[in-house]
Amino acid sequence: MKYNDIDFNNKYILITGAAGFIGSSLCFYFQKNYPNANIIALDSFRSGETFSNGNLKSFGHFKNLLGFSGTVISGNINDKELLKDLETSYNFDYIFHQAAISDTTVQEQDLMIQTNVNAYEDLLKIAIKHNANMIYASSAATYGDSNKFEIGYEQPNNAYGFSKVMMDNITYKYLRQGVDISIVGLKYFNVYGPREFFKNKTASMVVQFGHQILKGLTPKLFEGSDKILRDFIYIEDVIQANIKACNPKKSGVYNVGTGKARSFEDIVNILQKELNIDNGKEYIPNPFVVQYQFFTEANIESSRENLDYEPIYSIEEGIKAYLPEIKRLFEEEVK
């Protein structure tokens, strides 16, 4: 499905974080719909290196790009020589910047700011030189402890959320300076869908619960999980938002969610119904209760108005569309 009237054929498109969840989904969107697009897929593929919390430094996985026929570059966005080479070797029309340290539990604040904030500004300068529209991943983590999920009410409670606020601030600084390109930041809420599996423990609870159920295990939920609500958004709607952000009515930062919060209890109920497996549920105490976020729900009015964004998938429809991939992953990667 095409989400706007732009013809991306023969355009040069840089996608960073291209072996990750959203980046690889964008690669295949363009490959499928615009076979003559020139797609440059940049990723810092996983190497086994870990942060101090034990999690991988990169979730980029070659399997997310199986079948991709564009140009693949392995490199780190903190590498100034790499960025210089990209700047001189290509003339980009669009940059989709998805690369980031996205693990909210990472303690290396210095590397978080360097990777998420400073490298973003370096890429933005390339976009301006190339007259390329910039679309980048912000995050609902910017809202943190806020009780209002709309632009201007950010209250991050970790270094990751802070780094995304700083990216948004850079965006507004350049927009005030009157740059000729459009710049759109997209605050993703709880994204789930195909190609997230290799995010390991940071993959959505949709796929994690799905695999627990298929293993015959009883899904473990925090006590009171029927009242723990999140805005879960299917990957296809995230792709829609990215494509519509190529031609915004107004540059800026926008929420990408459904605007309808649902519970983790709902996810388990829908999965067990669709899989026709009832393993029951087990309730456990929430060890993170002090710093836990019990509610997120995107205000998407400005996204509707300025991006013409309208979510298509409810959680029921998203899970149903996702199930064949959850089953395939279970057979090929989990069992």
CB 132 within 8 A of CB 181: yes
**Amino acid identity, position 211:** H
CB 213 within 8 A of CB 219: yes
Helix (H) or strand (E) holding 244: helix 235-244
Is 160 a catalytic site residue? Answer: yes
Span between the terminal Cα atoms of the chain, in Å: 33
Give me the catalytic one of 160, 234, 309, 322. Answer: 160
Is 199 a catalytic site residue? Answer: yes
Give me the catalytic one of 11, 164, 187, 199. Answer: 199
Residues 6+ apart with CB under 8 A from 192: 204, 205, 206, 207, 232, 233, 234, 235, 318, 322
Q: Which residue has the tokens 């564009």?
A: 70
DSSP state of 335: -
- Bridge partners for 139 per DSSP: 188
Q: Copy the structure tokens of residue 310.
A: 């309208």
Q: φ and ψ at 50, to 5 degrees?
A: -125, 160
CA distance 114 to 262: 34
Q: Which residue has the tokens 């829609």?
A: 240
Active centre residues (catalytic) = 160, 199
